[in-house]
Structure 1
Amino acid sequence: MGAKIKEYGITAPDTKNPLSDPYPFNLMFQTSIGPSGLSPGYMRPETAQGIFVNFKDLYYYNGNKLPFAAAQIGQAFRNEISPRQGLLRVREFTLAEIEHFVDPEDKSHPKFGDVADLEFLMFPREEQLTGKSAAKKKLGEAVSKGTINNETLGYFIGRVYLFLTQLGIDKDRLRFRQHLPNEMAHYAADCWDAEIECSYGWIECVVLLIVAYDLRAHSEKSGVPLVAHEKFPEPREVEKLVITPSKKELGLAFKGNQKMVIEAFEAMKETEALEMKVALESKGEVEFHVCTLNKSVTIKKNMVSISMEKKKEHQRVFTPSVIEPSFGIGRIIYCLFEHCFYQRPSKAEDEQLNVFRFPPLVAPIKCTVFPLVKIEKFDVVAKKISKALTTAGISHIIDITGTSIGKRYARTDEIGVPLAITVDSTTSVTIRDRDSKEQIRVDIEEVASVVKEVTDGQSTWADVMWRYPTHAVSHTDEEPADEE
């Protein structure tokens, strides 16, 4: 590659400076293990491998049945050449991954019907290659037409869409883009990115792919078969390809490379093996490419026996396929901040007020509690409500500083608190919605249950508006928040 760079005079596009010769670069961080530091180790670039190496135990815990899934969240580390774009490209990040193991011959999903009617922006590879834009498509149609490989992958795409939109991601700035052939991982059967549009453009935040590579790779290196079994009600007679290498002849011909040639035989597909059988019978020898040697070798008829034999099988042994949704938590949170932030004018319209419209379900602080004015009887009621909210497990802030109510509303709006409880009586209080600024009046004993109902997602603000009397605002609703 270095010679070609010099031959064609390729330079840096911006500076036109000459490029250095290519050199190896490991995207994994190396560290030293043990007191002597002589054992090298590598920090994990993803969380998934811990699930794959434990497949045998997980399969056993699920009663030796498919499908089943395992999930893990934790830190991952990648030696990025150029970290940039805030939380979007970093060397240490939080990754959440699901590994859903399925029978490769049955990728249907019993709950696919629950998401089949979802319609959202999709960007299949054919439309990318022809210069078209992403367009809204029904998930069920995309699966039935083969745009999405199978029902289980489609089901997880639908669930990721629901997850992101319920978090607060704008559905019109969310699309699912299929990988192009030149960017598809060599081991993936299909791959889609959930991309979210933000100030940096369209950002890949979730990857969904279907693979069988990892289990096979761990099996080959460890010698432990990571496979599943399907027992037949009655034995079945099947034709099986049998490849029997002659270790003696291969050893004489290839010496130390014998093992790699045998491994290449074992990796052959049935069609390739049968073509070799025909060539050996007609010509006596055939050229055979061995990937690990990076060259072709001559195989003679006495070096390998290839045949189709009838055998009775009581079970099918196979490597499961895996549907893997992988979530970049930092990227999702960054895009959520951008999508939830907006500004609105103060009541006097002389200043723009900052607001985060986090959905109640994900807002870190669910509500604020403060007396309308600083008098002892209102402080007592505020503390009583705070105690009830704590008992109900609702995160909240109590503010009895006496700052004007408008400033306290603005202060909580700009940190995304969805509800504000104002104590203006000893028997009832008002609850204010952050986005509509509408208020309802609720008895003190019911406050905690109403807040929990809304913040747990059991009811919407519109639902509770029907049940409780509205409160006409008689005090200053909003003032600019003091900077602290």
Structure 2
Amino acid sequence: MSKLANEPDSAAHKKEAFRLLVKNTLERRLFYIPSFKIYGGVAGLYDYGPWGCAVETNLINLWRQHFVMEEDMFEIRCPCVTPEVVLKASGHVDKFTDLMVKDEVTGDCHRADHLLKNFLNDILAKDAKITAEKKKEILTDLASLDEFTGPELGAKIKAYNIKAPDTGNEVSEPYPFNLMFATTIGPTGLVPGYMRPETAQGIFVNFKDLYYENGNKLPFAAAQIGSAFRNEIAPRQGPMRVREFTLAEIEHFVNPYDKSHPKFKDVAHLEFFLFPRAEQTGLKDHVKTCIGDAVAKGIVDNETLGYFIARTYLFLTGIGINKEQLRFRQHLQNEMAHYAQDCWDAEIECSYGWFECVGLADRSAFDLKAHTSKSGVELVAHEVFDKPKDVEQLTIVPNKKILGKVFRKDQKILSESLESMTEAEALALKAELEEKEKTIYRVCTTGQEFELTKEMVTISQQVVKTHGRNFTPSVIEPSFGVGRIMYCLYEHCFYTRPYTPGEQVSSVFRFPPLIAPIKCTVFPLIQRKILNYKAELISNSLTRVGVSNKMDVTGRSIGKRYARTDEVGIPFAITVDFNEGVTVRERDSKQQIRVPDGEVVDVVRDLANGSRPWAEATSSYQVVLVPDAEAES
């Protein structure tokens, strides 16, 4: 697939045909199914069938091994239903929105940025006569999509004269739509809540207990895997944009004064595609970069963030994502949350274009400070110095009497926000008040703005000698969209090959053995009691050593049975015949080796868990040379 937006129309048609072929295979073989299909379905909701469930289970198990076990993380599980007060503190109630427009005639809703993005990509794909100046303008707008405010997005939609898809009707001005599903907790309906839009808040509110469990030491990390819910405006991109999905999230808590990582040196040499903001704003492409150099030059903010970017690269390529279609894109300055130190998205290219599948962010201390402010429970860590140090201490004292007189009922929320400022925010506010005597202060959790004067808040620093200090930890957050990764994996592993010479083609998923839904099929060559019995013994023995397998005793030809297992990505097949030993077949090469009965279980187990490559097996056992027409028909 092309990596460029301005590909010719024929390439766009090929991409669409490829997507349709993958989709038909996935739905026909029950990797996923539109939910409530017999009732017409609901956009953005999908069921996972047997093969999809198995792939997801294997992916999550590998994720746990790669991250949770490797980094000695805590794993927790929190409820999907979250009280409003928690999501009010985090800012989701007021700010978790997308900009939406409505068809002025039908009332159909469309996500405004997607409407503009699709329109501009269509121009690039289909208009061969586009001028260089117009092309540059379009590419600039595409690069700036995430930065546009509502009015700016509305102005762009008008400037390009964009209408509602399908109907051609005028669309409304963009307006915010909160993506959370609201609910109530308990029979009275008096306790408002939401279906969680992410799993992270459950970790933040448990920080104090997790910190204690870790011996009151930093750094440490906690992970959570579970469902999250977002009421997408118009989910039109299959399983890539859904309303219920699985997230695997990590919150790595670290001392904000030391974000080095002891294992960064192990990954510093890795090279892969980075897409820093300088390349984006300069309308350039992503560049292959050594992660050690990116951290050293300050392109990536710190070692811990760089370490998790590199580990994410190793995970994604290890499960079968094509490294040539994987990049890490840095958020533009105005795109980042105001509290973030640095943010990168792992984007994977598929037939829908480049899609964010993993978010990696240094969220600073925002979340713990927000929950400290709202709950009144201090979520802090303590650092003991080897010897007493002179430390600058920052004090923020809101003048609540003046604030109450001027802002009345808003005094409390304003005071809490001022007290939870970071040191950098507080010093910036102090400098601005000293220069101008008044300024506009914005409360990030509600979006409210207040005009402050010098008398309303006192911000000072003093040097004291101390044996230690309390501080609010920073958090590095890698957040994995499991469903999106799975769909990209399906596309990256999918190919077709001839089934009969010059006639039919068969579909194949080339999943790595560790990801494949099951590892092996067991076939009796023909239907005979003695062969069925031997096949059953082998199948049971494989199950006992932990190798997932499936017996196929249907009356189909062996070739058709091979084709059906290739189509769901099963890497190995054992065929039982009347001779001594069995044949073991590998999916992609279609090679077969002859293995003695007493060794087959160990051989397939080692092949399935990746400890023995197929090339080694073919050098250890006799390769069976069977023509395709005989083996596959």
Q: TM-score, normalised by structure 2?
A: 0.69
Matches within 5 A, 1:237-256: 237-244=390-397, 247=400, 256=409
1:10/1:18 contact within 8 Å kept: no
The Cα shift of 1:348 comes to: 2.6
Are 1:291 and 2:447 counterparts? Answer: no
Corresponding residue for 1:339? Answer: 492
Counterpart of 2:126 in structure 1 is none
Which sits farther off after the overlay, 138-147 or 430-439?
Answer: 138-147
Residue 233 of structure 2 is aligned to residue 78 of structure 1: no
Residue 415 (structure 1) aligns with: 568
- Greater shift after overlay, 181-190 or 90-99? 181-190
Distance change >3 Å, CA 264–CA 390, structure 1 → 2: closer
Deviates more, 1:458-467 or 1:88-97: 458-467
1:166 aligns to what?
318
Distance in structure 1 (CA, Å) of the matches to 2:226 and 2:251: 14
Would you say the 8 A contact 1:409–1:477 is kept in 2? no
CA distance in 2 between counterparts of 1:287 and 1:277 reads 5
Q: Distance in 1 between matches of 2:297 and 2:535?
A: 59
1:13 aligned to 2:162? yes
Match of 1:56 in 2: 208
**Matching of residues 345-364 of structure 1 within 5 Å:** 345-364=498-517
Structure (1/2) with the larger helix percentage: 2
Q: Deviations over 1:187-238 (max 9, x none)?
A: 2211111111111111111111111211111111111111111111222233
Read off the aligned partner of 2:274 and give its amino acid letter. Answer: M
Of 439, 452, 465, 2:618 maps to: 465
Counterparts of 1:249 and 1:323 in 2: how far apart (Å)? 38
Q: SS of 2:390's equivalent?
A: strand
Contact residue 123 and residue 175 of structure 1 kept, 8 A: yes
Residue 332 of structure 1: CA displacement?
0.9
Which residue in the other structure is 1:217 paired with? 370
Equivalence for 1:271: 427
Residue 170 of structure 1: CA displacement?
Answer: 1.2
CA offset at residue 369 of structure 1?
0.8
1:430 aligns with 2:583: yes
What is the letter of the counterpart of residue 593 of structure 2? I
1:152 alignment partner, SS class:
helix
* Identity rate, percent: 58
Q: Does the Cα contact within 8 Å between 1:243 and 1:304 map onto a contact in 2?
A: yes
- Equivalent-residue separation in structure 2 for 1:273 and 1:319 (angstroms): 20
Q: What's the CA shift for 1:48? A: 0.8
**Cα distance change of structure 1 residues 161 and 474 upon mapping to structure 2, 3 Å threshold:** same
The equivalent residue for 1:376 is 529
SS class of match (2:341): strand
Structure 1: state its 5+ residue gaps.
280-284
CA contact (8 A) 1:347 1:478 kept: no
Q: 1-side partners of 2:262 and 2:196: how far apart? A: 34
Measure the CA separation in 2 of the matches of 1:87 and 1:426. Answer: 46
Query: How many equivalent residue pairs?
Result: 472
1:374-398 deviation digits (Å, cap 9, x = unpaired): 3333222211111111111211111
Q: CA deviation at 1:422?
A: 1.1
Residue pairs, 1:181-330, within 5 angstroms = 181-211=333-363, 212-244=365-397, 247=400, 256=409, 258-259=411-412, 262-263=415-416, 266=419, 267=421, 269=425, 271-272=427-428, 275=431, 286-292=437-443, 294-300=449-455, 307-330=460-483
In structure 2, the residue matched to 1:404 is 557
Structure 1 residue 371 displacement after superposition? 2.0
> In structure 2, the residue corresponding to 1:56 is in which secondary structure?
helix
Give distance in 2, aligned partners of 1:79 and 1:376: 55
Offset of 1:294 from its aligned partner? 2.3
Partners of 1:108 and 1:160 in 2: CA distance:
18
Unaligned runs of at least 5 residues, structure 2: 1-149
CA distance 1:400–1:261, change in 2 (3 Å): closer
Measure, in 2, the Cα distance between the counterparts of 1:201 and 1:477.
41
Output the TM-score relative to the length of structure 1: 0.89
Corresponding residue for 2:330? 178
Deviation at 1:261, TM superposition (A): 5.8
Larger radius of gyration: 1
Segment of structure 1 superposing worse, 467-476 or 73-82: 467-476
Query: 1:29-63 CA distances to partner (integer Å, 9 max, x unpaired)?
Result: 11122112233211100011100100011111111
1:436 Cα deviation from its structure 2 partner: 0.7
**Higher share in strand:** 1
Q: CA deviation at 1:126?
A: 0.7
Q: Is 38-47 or 307-316 further displaced after alignment?
A: 307-316
Q: Secondary structure at the match of 1:400?
A: coil
- The CA distance in 2 between the partners of 1:133 and 1:17, in whole Å, is 35
Superposed, 1:37-116 pairs within 5 Å as: 37-116=189-268
Q: 2:497 aligns to what SS in structure 1?
A: strand
Larger mean CA deviation between 244-253 and 205-214 belongs to 244-253
